[in-house]
Amino acid sequence: MPKKKFMIDTNVFISEFKSGYTTSTRLLLKLLLDPEVELIVDEILLEEYKRWFELISKRIPQIRQQANV
C-alpha cells in the first residue's frame, strides 16, 4: 500500500509549536513520526523545520520527548 503524502506549511508548523502543546501539535508529531506517512519537503524547508524544532523544543521539553519515541 502506498504511503500517504503530506506537505506541512512552515507557518502551520511554527504557529502550532509556539502555541504550546496542543491537539494540532500532536497531529503534526504523528505525521512526522508515522511510518505510513511520507512528508514532501525540499531541503531548505526541512532545514527550517529542524531549526524551529530545536528552538521551540528547548522551551517545551515534551515535544522533544515525544519526537524521540
17 close to 58: Cβ distance less than 8 angstroms: no
Domain containing residue 33: 4-67
Number of compact structural domains in the chain: 1
Q: What is the pLDDT of residues 31-69, one digit of tens each?
A: 888 999 998 877 887 788 788 788 877 887 777 777 664
In degrees, to the nearest 5, what angle opens at C-alpha 59 toward C-alphas 17 and 48?
A: 50
Note the pTM of the prediction, 2 decimals. Answer: 0.50
CA angle 28, 36, 8 (to 5 degrees): 30
Helix (H) or strand (E) holding 39: strand 37-39
User: Average pLDDT for residues 14-35, to the nearest whole number?
Assistant: 78
